[in-house]
Amino acid sequence: MTEFFARARANIALSKYWGKADRALNLPAVPSLSLTLDDLVTETTVARDASLAHDHIELDGVLRAGDEAGTLSAFLALVRARAGVPEGAPGTFLRVRSHNRFPTASGLASSASGYAALAAAATAAYGLALDDLALSALARRGSASAARSVFGGWVELPAGTPGDDTTGARPLFAPDHWDVAMVLALVDRGPKDIASRDGMRRTAETSPYYAAWLATAPLLHARVRAAVTSRDLEATGDAMEASTMAMHASAWAAQPAVRYARGVTLDVLDAVRALRREGVGAWATMDAGPHVKVLCAVGEAESVAARLRTTPGVLESRIARPGAGIERP
């Protein structure tokens, strides 16, 4: 059995994706801009195995079953359909082994690195030659944030047009455009309360602020993009926080509320604000989980991480830097 290996890294959005333009094609309703990180790596190996009657998917050493396996296998079926591999012929199905080389914690963007690596390894296994843009559009079908992890550094995922399956992310700047730090404060090890897909759906269907989010997000995205282009840390941090808060506010107003922040999340936000009052340039963002990620200059990352570790409830803090895109067969 020939094995195919791919490595991908997670990314953190500075302007946030929240909501879909087309649910079936998993197209984002708003543009987003992310930074791919060096620290959060997923490694995936796949092989076509003639002895299998269905895909065999092992994540972090645990064989997956039920809905989780079904979702991943549906993505692999999409790859097979693109490659012209008929379902059920000998050698159709994949043996997949995937490992996250970072602590498994909710909302740490493991679906981004996971689907990017899986798309790269599976397309290679089925002989489907895609350039990075086409691979990104395919990875988007698994998880929209995965489209961004195909590329290193500073990456943009535009809003989609309903029915247009070609939307993928595009690289804006290589990792060396701007060496900043993203300090990750992990506050919980459990599974996330609400899958981001369900959270987005509930926000779109019930939040009175979803329309306001759709109107605001492109403007905040443009601010983030301009600030990243000119490497203006304060302007980037301010716009990133505004995008974060607008996204979470729209989710909090869903019925019932979609709330990922915990008490400790707010305590970390207070610590970041206190750092700023002391003259340290640090800005916070949160995703579909309770953790906080803090953008700051590389020279201040160690002291920011040390401060966050002193906040009760913070389990671990790690320093990430701009990272590379997909490595594939």
Query: In the complex, which residues of this chain contact ligand 2P0 (CB under 6 A)?
Result: 13, 16-18, 26, 32, 111, 143-145, 196-197, 287-288
**Closest distance of CB 16 from ligand 2P0, Å:** 4
3-state secondary structure 244-286: HHHHHHHHHCCCCCCCCCCHHHHHHHHHHHHHHHCCCCEEEEC
Distance CA 261, CA 16 (A): 16
Q: For tokens 């990352």, what's the residue?
A: 301
**Closest distance of CB 143 from ligand 2P0, Å:** 3
- Identity of the residue, 4 or 213, whose beta carbon is nearer to ligand 2P0 in the bound complex: 213
**Closest distance of CB 23 from ligand 2P0, Å:** 9
- Identity of the residue, 4 or 260, whose beta carbon is nearer to ligand 2P0 in the bound complex: 260
**Closest distance of CB 110 from ligand 2P0, Å:** 9
- Identity of the residue, 197 or 259, whose beta carbon is nearer to ligand 2P0 in the bound complex: 197
- Identity of the residue, 17 or 93, whose beta carbon is nearer to ligand 2P0 in the bound complex: 17
**Closest distance of CB 21 from ligand 2P0, Å:** 11
Contact 58, 195 (CB under 8 A): no
Distance CA 247, CA 201 (A): 13
Burial class (CB in 10 A: 0-12, 13-18, 19+), 62: exposed
- Identity of the residue, 27 or 264, whose beta carbon is nearer to ligand 2P0 in the bound complex: 27
Contact 181, 320 (CB under 8 A): yes
Contact 15, 301 (CB under 8 A): no
